[in-house]
């Protein structure tokens, strides 16, 4: 599909390697050739692979856990500022292909709001913010700051006023939790399941904490096909029993389900499952879903093969191009303005649908173009 927009795509600056070296996740050769190099790169291999796979646009964000892992408030604020200035420069080199999410220190809600305002008002490349789950805090890094605490209303108010959607991204455990829970079985801490399990709790905390009610122009986005929430919506709404939890701040006349499509959205990043996509479309609707990859933790060709060759033969054309592109323009109106100037595209413009055979050419089926010989993939 031509014109794809991807929203959860990581990038980093060397400064972050001090507090967190992603190569601990994957040394050279394990995820592509060099994870750290892929993270640092914008206009090189990344852009080339975008071209090769019809990804028109990426919104870049500082690699997780990023600023959320810096326990010293001043250092965290400084890191965010540096990262935001650098990514602005990168975006301005090619604003038709890139935008950015602001990185924010979440130690001080007021300061987070100010930095978000600086990015959204004084700079040209930002379309929202990305927060990597809880903010690590305290001398040993074991204090976890969650943004459903009422003191964060000051931050959410800024996001609401700036119409800056906030993408919530998972991160690794705090040291104490790691020690208590994942010692000897680290694979459980990370992206296989632990990431989603922690972030869906934080997300549900924000929703049930009434943040979206108090700030009705606020939008939040979560990746990985919704961090399990779409599959569990019946149980979530059923078990948030108001007579049992009378102090839960969320509007008494609302279900969690009600926020999808207006204030809560999901992306497909790193979860390229067609049945999960169909389930999510049924439970929260195509308009709540955006394509994303999760580069460089996921392969651009792999995510795009799924979308271009597998999903395209299962999902109707209009929902397909909306999820692949147009929904992002609804959620992030900044993408349609200023330097980016992205426009809605229909199926035909995206190369979707239509008979691809040239006149006189014969069509044998959509899965293998030769009638007699099985196509093999070359790499």
Closest-CA residue to 55 (of 96, 106, 101):
96
Q: Would you give the binding string for its own copies spanning residues 195-234, x where CB under 8 A is met?
A: -xxx-xx--xx--xx--------------xx--x-xxxxx
Rounded alpha-carbon distances, angstroms, from residue 192 to 176, 198, 267, 305, 346: 20, 12, 17, 21, 35
Q: Would you give the binding string for its own copies spanning residues 339-368, x where CB under 8 A is met?
A: --------xx----xxx-x-xxxxxxxxxx
Q: What is the DSSP string of 182-248?
A: ITT-GGGTSTTTHHHHHHHHHHHHHHHTTHHHH-TT--EEE-GGGTTHHHHHHHHHHHS-TTT-TT-
Q: What is the DSSP string of 55-69?
A: EEEEEEEEPSSGGGG
Compare residues 4 and 198 and give the one whose CB is closer to its own copies: 198
* Cross-strand pairs, 102: 129
Please report whether residue 106 would count as binding its own copies according to CB under 8 A: no
Compare residues 24 and 121 and give the one whose CB is closer to its own copies: 24
- Which position among 2, 114, 318, 336 is part of the footprint of its own copies (CB under 8 A)? 318
Least distance CB 221 / its own copies (angstroms): 17
Please report whether residue 145 would count as binding its own copies according to CB under 8 A: no
Please report whether residue 276 would count as binding its own copies according to CB under 8 A: yes
Compare residues 122 and 370 and give the one whose CB is closer to its own copies: 370
- Which position among 21, 30, 121, 333 is part of the footprint of its own copies (CB under 8 A)? 30
- Which position among 66, 170, 194, 324 is part of the footprint of its own copies (CB under 8 A)? 194
Rounded alpha-carbon distances, angstroms, from residue 69 to 53, 64, 197, 353: 33, 8, 18, 45
Compare residues 26 and 82 and give the one whose CB is closer to its own copies: 26
Given the rule CB under 8 A, which of 5-13, 81-89, 163-171, 276-284 is the region that contacts its own copies? 276-284
For 55-180, list the strands marked E by DSSP.
55-62, 98-103, 126-131, 135-137, 143-145, 166-168
Report the C-alpha gap between 4 and 323 in whole angstroms.
9
Given the rule CB under 8 A, which of 2-10, 116-124, 258-266, 328-336 is the region that contacts its own copies? 258-266
Report the C-alpha gap between 229 and 327 in whole angstroms.
19
Check: CB of residue 33 under 8 Å from CB of residue 46: no
- Which position among 59, 286, 331, 345 is part of the footprint of its own copies (CB under 8 A)? 286
Q: Of residues 34, 148, 153, 294, which has the active-site annotation?
A: 294
Report the C-alpha gap between 284 and 264 in whole angstroms.
10
Least distance CB 141 / its own copies (angstroms): 13
Report the C-alpha gap between 306 and 309 in whole angstroms.
6
Compare residues 22 and 65 and give the one whose CB is closer to its own copies: 22
Compare residues 62 and 206 and give the one whose CB is closer to its own copies: 206
Element (H, E) at 303: helix 300-305
Identify residues 288-307 at the interface with its own copies (CB under 8 A): 288, 298-306
Catalytic annotation on 72?
Answer: no
**Which of the residues are catalytic?**
294
């Amino acid at each position: 599909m031509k014109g794809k927009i991807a929203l959860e795509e990581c990038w980093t600056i060397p400064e972050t390697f001090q507090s967190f070296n992603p190569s601990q996740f994957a040394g050279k050769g394990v995820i592509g050739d060099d994870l750290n190099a892929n993270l640092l790169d914008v206009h090189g291999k990344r852009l080339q692979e975008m071209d090769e796979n019809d990804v028109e646009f990426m919104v870049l964000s500082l690699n997780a856990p990023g600023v959320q892992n810096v326990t010293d408030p001043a250092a965290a604020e400084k890191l965010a500022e540096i990262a935001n200035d650098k990514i602005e420069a990168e975006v301005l080199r090619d604003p038709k292909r890139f935008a950015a999410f602001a990185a924010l220190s979440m130690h001080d809600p007021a300061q987070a709001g100010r930095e978000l305002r600086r990015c959204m008002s004084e700079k040209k490349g930002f379309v929202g913010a990305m927060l990597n789950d809880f903010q690590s805090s305290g001398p040993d890094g074991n204090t976890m700051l969650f943004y459903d605490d009422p003191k964060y209303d000051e931050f959410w108010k800024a996001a609401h006023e700036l119409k800056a959607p906030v993408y919530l991204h998972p991160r690794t455990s705090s040291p104490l939790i790691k020690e208590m829970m994942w010692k000897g079985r680290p694979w459980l801490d990370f992206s296989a399941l632990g990431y989603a399990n922690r972030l869906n709790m934080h997300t549900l905390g924000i929703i049930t904490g009434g943040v979206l009610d108090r700030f009705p122009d606020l939008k939040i986005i979560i990746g990985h096909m919704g961090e399990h929430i779409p599959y569990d919506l019946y149980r979530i709404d059923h078990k948030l029993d108001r007579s049992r939890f009378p102090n839960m701040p969320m509007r008494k006349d609302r279900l969690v389900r009600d926020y999808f499509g207006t204030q809560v959205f999901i992306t497909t990043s790193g979860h390229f499952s067609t049945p999960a996509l169909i389930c999510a479309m049924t439970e929260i609707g195509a308009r709540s879903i955006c394509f994303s990859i999760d580069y460089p933790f996921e392969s651009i060709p792999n995510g795009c093969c799924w979308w271009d060759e597998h999903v395209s033969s299962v999902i109707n054309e209009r929902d397909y191009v909306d999820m692949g592109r147009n929904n992002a323009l609804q959620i992030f109106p900044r993408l349609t303005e200023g330097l980016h100037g992205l426009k809605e595209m229909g199926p035909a413009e995206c190369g979707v649908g239509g008979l691809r055979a040239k006149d006189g050419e014969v069509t044998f089926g959509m899965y293998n173009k030769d009638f007699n010989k099985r196509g093999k993939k070359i790499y």
